[in-house]
Structure 1
Amino acid sequence: MKYFRDDQFVKKFGKRLREIRKAKNITQEELVYRTGFELSQIGRIERGTVNTSISHVAAIAKALNVPPSELFMFD
């Protein structure tokens, strides 16, 4: 099976994550504390340079106190 990655989707997800995080006045450092992820990982997710896992999406949503679907509300 060939690996599939939709770069545009990954970038849109990262942009949406950053929008929500900033709207809630949460720094990347605070998100690191809440998720246990590395700061560099949060940065890569927000820049759309890494195709994150569904488990990471769940942890991020919980840390931001939003349903996971909120992170996917983009065009």
Structure 2
Amino acid sequence: MARVSAKLDKDQFLVQLGAAVRARRVLMNLSQEALADFAEIDRSHMGKIERGERNVTFLNIVRIAKAIQCKPSDLLIEAGL
């Protein structure tokens, strides 16, 4: 089975999720680097997630949600998903 690339995200779901992550991060007054550290994700990868350039794994969604003190479902709802 071929890996699903962010380039195939025609509906911009990853961009919406990234915008929701960024909005929460800014609301909490966290730098991208601080969020990446809290979520145990590489900072450059976090930047790509926020820009919708990466197909985020479920485990990373959980880590990010935990770091920004919300449930993964809340993050998806905020993204309109």
Is TM-score (shorter-chain normalized) higher than 0.5? yes
* Structure 2, gaps ≥5 residues long: none
Q: Does 1:11 align with 2:5?
A: no
Deviation, structure 1 residue 36: 1.6
Report the Cα distance in structure 1 between the residues aligned to 2:40 and 2:2, rounded to whole angstroms: 31
* TM-score w.r.t. length of structure 2: 0.81
Report the Cα distance in structure 1 between the residues aligned to 2:32 and 2:38, rounded to whole angstroms: 10
* Structure 1, gaps ≥5 residues long: none
Question: In percent, how many aligned pairs have the same letter?
Answer: 33
Q: Which of residues 26, 31, 56 is equivalent to 1:22?
A: 26
Q: Which of residues 18, 39, 42 is equivalent to 1:38?
A: 42
- The list of structure 1 runs, each at least 4 consecutive aligned residues, that deviate by more than 2 angstroms after superposition, is 1-7
Q: Secondary structure at the match of 1:51?
A: coil
Count residues in correspondence: 75
Give the CA RMSD over aligned residues.
Answer: 1.6
